[in-house]
Structure 1
Amino acid sequence: MDAPAAINFFKGHPSFRLLPNKVVAEAAAQLLVTGDRDYDADTLNRHPLTYGSDEGALWVREAITRFNNDETFRFARDDKARSRPEFLNLSSGASYGVLSILLQATLAHTGYTRQAFIVSPTYFLINDCFIDAGFGSKITAIDEDGQGSIDLALLERKLQEFEDKFTEEEDQEKLQAITDPAKAVPKKIYKYVIYCIPTYSNPTGTTYSTETKLKLIEIARKYDMLIIADDVYDMLDFSPPFDNLPQPKKRFVHLDRETNNDPESYGNTISNATFSKLIAPGLRFGYHETVTDKLAGQLSHGGANTSGGTPSQLNSMIVGTMLKNGSTATLLNQLRSTYAERAETMYAAVKGYMPKNTKFEKPEGGYFSWLTLPQGYDAHEIGKRLQQEFQVTVANGDHFEVKGDTRGWGKSSMRLSLSFLECNEIEEGIKSMGKICSAYAKERDLVFSFYRRLISNVFISALELDALIKQFGFY
């Protein structure tokens, strides 16, 4: 990812010019330079530069719920999906958020939490979080099906296989062995856990349907499984207009809350969200949202939180200030507009320069899309030559495997990121890839397309090429 490259499609963070230095500085000054705040001595909030409360500042959690409830998801006042501040636990970003969830709501090393499931292909660094939490030999891949769903039949079959291996008595013995009798409220530990990125996923850009989400929640309730949903890209929707905030689909946690009638429930879902994609990754600030206050409270009372308080006290209040003054909304719309333009360029370039029958969906949001080469092309070799001859780096599909349960994604697929590169770099990089594929096709007598081979060596933009294709029907 950080290897020297003229054009790098691996990097999954914003271009440096998109990082809001001035806006963040202004928010920090607004927060800190104006004298004392009326909440500095309030134990639910506290001074920005002191230890925070375990669950994070109340006023920041209120700002997040207002933003989500009223400005983006735009829930009706009587919609059960609406969140509340007590349903949130503030975190230090999505990556630490996943590890915190696993440490506080699963117990793989005792055997009580039997198995973890990860949707494949997956975010390439998430495996290590599960391994750190004790799931090294207890991870099963569940495939996306490319139609807004995952292989739910495989998931349920695997769950039943594990259920058949254990008895309720064994579970109770394991649970009693880890129960702290001094705790007034018992800790909720799940028997299974599944990780997914349900909207504009990394790496494929897939978005799950509401039907899929509801079916997965039903399965989770049946088998005592926790769904960890990385809700990090769903507000980066590329649909205009860009002067209004997007209205994302309801998250797993919203649907779980709507269909759960038990006020004492811990629920079966956690929205693991972050402001890294909406403002800047260096802030390292996010939040967990749970169905009720039960699981959010449990997450906030982990050992690290009770020792040092919420992990991002200062940065959480900078983001809270930006939510209140409206700059978060402005930045989000600017990013959406910029990324939408890049998505158009990327799609046109792939259609124009890459081999016939290359599979590539136009990115509709988020950072990434998944490119699969036609049969006969070797993605490993294409990527290697692309780096050597043009200093263009792509992320081979091997990176996105679930460790211990691989699918061979790297043979034909790669991930392309649009967040880091400008439009001219995106086009130039894919044009170079097309040249490599063209030469590779000649060597092996593969189908490429005479028209594309010709046009890839002519000075014409991808968008102009796309217009020609539409006008004349060239392949």
Structure 2
Amino acid sequence: MKSINLFRGYASHGLLPRTDIIEATSEVLLPEVREYDYNDEDRHPLVYGSDNGSAWVRACIAEFSNRAFKLPVSSNAATRPEHLNLTSGASYGIMNILLQTTLPHTGYTKQAFIVTPTYFLVNKAFLDAGFTGKITAVEEKGDGLDLAFLEAKLKSCENSSNGESGQKAEESLRIINAQDGKKKIYRYVIYLVPTYSNPTGAIYSRSSRLKLLELARKYDILIISDDVYDLLRLDDDNGSGALIPSPPELRFPHLDRESISAANTFGNTISNCTFSKIIAPGLRTGYQETANAKLATQLASGGANASGGTPCQLNSMIVATMIKNGAVERIVHNFVSVLRERARVLAKSIKLYLPKGTQYSECKGGYFSWCTLPVGYDSSKIVEEVSSEGVLLADGSHFEVSGDRRNWGERSVRLSISYATAAEIEEAVKIWGIACQKHRVLDCEQADIAIGHASSLLKSRRKKQSQL
């Protein structure tokens, strides 16, 4: 029996641009000599790269980003090559950020905040970095986060600071800076996916982003935003004629640069990006964007980069070549066209097959959306049942923040449109809906039995009382 996978979070094989990658790889490697082979900031594609990645690659990415976000190069918000550090994808990016900008082991970095429900594999990166017992979940609220809750927690952390432990934390930073030169270590860190969030599909408004940035500057927070889906906008017919519709909001480093003070020499934001969601995950190529060159340089200065250079020397050049020859825009355009149809079919199928009262908003971009069944349905049980029929769904329990659960698995499910075809999506939701009907009938039957049993007990008690 062939399974239908609405759990998987990467593109179906038919969407992967094999031919474009072959052509770009040939363009990079067929020449015996390239003009940049002996440039220390670029280097031969098959040797160790510079620490923050090839200069011409970063220039390509910066130009591509500014074009996508419609930012003139003269704008304060515009991306420049020196703002970028190349990585081997967003997963590596998170690890690198936490290692280079936080000190939870010593107590200098006091707490990590993770938006809940969250990307289900990010927890381990925070635990690996030393945040066990130091993670707080923050829920989405309205068009952003519950900022009142977040600030209350920040004030609590500030008020609970111990004088002696605080001195030890400061001493640990002094020792590190004496060894490595001036580094920026943050007191707090927050992780979120602000555009087409994984798993909810939410889009945080500009206003909510600016309010979070204000809090970050006040409390010395590093905002890590996974910006991996924002070019996949599905709710725009793109009347401008461009192949890629503009993302709905600017990224955090754009906003940070617009209003950063001269005294804030590192900024408070990192955009953690990848080409895995818009080209192919096997390329393992991404980048980190910061508000200024200083923090980007710090991210590129870890021991692994100092030893081996950028972790994506060859593949980053393949991606940059695909940017230069226009392939990336064509690929994203194709992704958007296919995903838009899948999103439409998913919304229609949910309305048609799932129980009345199901809460769902159509996927407006990216890969994911969040569906909550009415009270009385147990999503985890239903998901387990339909898996035996070949339908793979991700119940909400997967998207909890480590150590701070919200019981998302009780009624909610994350739905992915990246892997299954439109026809498969409709078939999967139909099977899911039938399972929901069965569970509701069983629940009603069990309720009737329980009511009948309670009624019999009541009658028996009344009869005994009448006999006394």
Shift of the alpha carbon at 1:169?
7.5
1:95 is aligned to 2:94: no
Question: Do the aligned partners of 2:51 and 2:301 also contact (CA within 8 Å) in 1?
Answer: yes
How many correspondences in the alignment?
440
- Specify the alignment match of 2:145 in structure 1: 150
Amino acid of the structure 2 residue aligned with 1:393 = L
- Specify the alignment match of 2:333 in structure 1: 333
Amino acid of the structure 1 residue aligned with 2:229 = Y
Distance in 2 separating the partners of 1:333 and 1:167? 54
1:116-144 deviation digits (Å, cap 9, x = unpaired): 00000000000000000000111000001
Larger radius of gyration: 2
- Specify the alignment match of 2:130 in structure 1: 134
User: Once superposed, what is the RMSD of the aligned Cα atoms?
Assistant: 1.5
Question: Do the aligned partners of 2:107 and 2:165 also contact (CA within 8 Å) in 1?
Answer: no
Q: Report SS of the residue matched to 2:42.
A: coil
Residue pairs, 1:214-225, within 5 angstroms: 214-225=210-221
Distance in 2 separating the partners of 1:161 and 1:181? 28
Q: Report SS of the residue matched to 1:279.
A: coil
Distance in 2 separating the partners of 1:51 and 1:126? 29
- Specify the alignment match of 1:213 in structure 2: 209
Amino acid of the structure 1 residue aligned with 2:193 = I
- Specify the alignment match of 1:187 in structure 2: 183
Question: Do the aligned partners of 2:372 and 2:412 also contact (CA within 8 Å) in 1?
Answer: yes
Deviating above 3 A after TM superposition, structure 1's stretches of 4 or more consecutive aligned residues are 167-173, 180-185
Distance in 2 separating the partners of 1:251 and 1:243? 20
Of 264-273 and 127-136, the range deviating more from structure 2: 264-273
Residue pairs, 1:13-162, within 5 angstroms: 13-69=10-66, 71-145=67-141, 147-162=142-157
- Specify the alignment match of 2:343 in structure 1: 343
Question: Do the aligned partners of 1:120 and 1:141 also contact (CA within 8 Å) in 2?
Answer: yes
- Cα 1:215–1:181 change in 2 (3 A) is closer
1:279-336 deviation digits (Å, cap 9, x = unpaired): 0000111001000111100000000000000001000000010111110010001000
1:258 is aligned to 2:258: yes
- Specify the alignment match of 1:378 in structure 2: 378
Amino acid of the structure 1 residue aligned with 2:68 = T
Question: Do the aligned partners of 1:243 and 1:333 also contact (CA within 8 Å) in 2?
Answer: no
Distance in 2 separating the partners of 1:391 and 1:21? 28
Distance in 1 separating the partners of 2:53 and 2:136? 34
Q: Report SS of the residue matched to 1:144.
A: strand
Question: Do the aligned partners of 1:5 and 1:387 also contact (CA within 8 Å) in 2?
Answer: no
Shift of the alpha carbon at 1:384?
1.4
- Specify the alignment match of 1:355 in structure 2: 355
Question: Do the aligned partners of 1:7 and 1:391 also contact (CA within 8 Å) in 2?
Answer: yes
Residue pairs, 1:285-300, within 5 angstroms: 285-300=285-300
Distance in 1 separating the partners of 2:151 and 2:324? 44
Q: Report SS of the residue matched to 1:445.
A: helix
- Cα 1:353–1:184 change in 2 (3 A) is closer
Residue pairs, 1:293-312, within 5 angstroms: 293-312=293-312
Question: Do the aligned partners of 1:228 and 1:270 also contact (CA within 8 Å) in 2?
Answer: yes
Distance in 2 separating the partners of 1:206 and 1:224? 25
Question: Do the aligned partners of 1:199 and 1:206 also contact (CA within 8 Å) in 2?
Answer: yes
Shift of the alpha carbon at 1:391?
1.4
- Cα 1:362–1:181 change in 2 (3 A) is closer
Question: Do the aligned partners of 1:120 and 1:144 also contact (CA within 8 Å) in 2?
Answer: yes
Question: Do the aligned partners of 1:370 and 1:416 also contact (CA within 8 Å) in 2?
Answer: yes
Amino acid of the structure 1 residue aligned with 2:169 = K
Shift of the alpha carbon at 1:244?
2.3
Q: Report SS of the residue matched to 1:89.
A: strand
Q: Report SS of the residue matched to 1:229.
A: strand
Distance in 2 separating the partners of 1:158 and 1:53? 41
Of 289-298 and 75-84, the range deviating more from structure 2: 75-84
Shift of the alpha carbon at 1:183?
5.3
Question: Do the aligned partners of 2:73 and 2:79 also contact (CA within 8 Å) in 1?
Answer: no
Shift of the alpha carbon at 1:50?
0.2
Shift of the alpha carbon at 1:443?
2.0
Shift of the alpha carbon at 1:167?
5.7
Distance in 1 separating the partners of 2:170 and 2:345? 54
Question: Do the aligned partners of 1:380 and 1:396 also contact (CA within 8 Å) in 2?
Answer: yes
1:395-419 deviation digits (Å, cap 9, x = unpaired): 0100000010000000000111000
| TM-score of the two chains, using structure 2 as the length reference | 0.91
The percent of aligned pairs where both chains have the same amino acid is 51
Distance in 2 separating the partners of 1:122 and 1:180? 32
- Specify the alignment match of 1:279 in structure 2: 279
Question: Is there any run of 5+ residues in structure 2 with no aligned partner, and where?
Answer: 446-468
Amino acid of the structure 2 residue aligned with 1:244 = L
- Cα 1:181–1:108 change in 2 (3 A) is closer
- Specify the alignment match of 2:396 in structure 1: 397
Shift of the alpha carbon at 1:166?
1.6
1:233-260 deviation digits (Å, cap 9, x = unpaired): 0000012238521111101111111010
- Specify the alignment match of 1:443 in structure 2: 442
Amino acid of the structure 2 residue aligned with 1:122 = T
Distance in 2 separating the partners of 1:288 and 1:31? 23
1:327-362 deviation digits (Å, cap 9, x = unpaired): 001000100010000000000000000000101110
1:191-248 deviation digits (Å, cap 9, x = unpaired): 0000000000100000100011000000011110100000000000012238521111
1:91-124 deviation digits (Å, cap 9, x = unpaired): 1100110010000000111110000000000000
- Cα 1:159–1:264 change in 2 (3 A) is closer
- Cα 1:171–1:43 change in 2 (3 A) is farther
Shift of the alpha carbon at 1:261?
2.7
| TM-score of the two chains, using structure 1 as the length reference | 0.90
Distance in 1 separating the partners of 2:373 and 2:100? 41
Q: Report SS of the residue matched to 1:342.
A: helix
Q: Report SS of the residue matched to 2:144.
A: coil
Question: Is there any run of 5+ residues in structure 1 with no aligned partner, and where?
Answer: 447-475
Question: Do the aligned partners of 2:136 and 2:404 also contact (CA within 8 Å) in 1?
Answer: yes
2, 6, 9: which one pairs with 2:3? 6
Shift of the alpha carbon at 1:428?
0.2
Distance in 1 separating the partners of 2:402 and 2:168? 30
Shift of the alpha carbon at 1:180?
3.6
1:258-280 deviation digits (Å, cap 9, x = unpaired): 01032761000000000001100
Question: Do the aligned partners of 2:120 and 2:398 also contact (CA within 8 Å) in 1?
Answer: yes
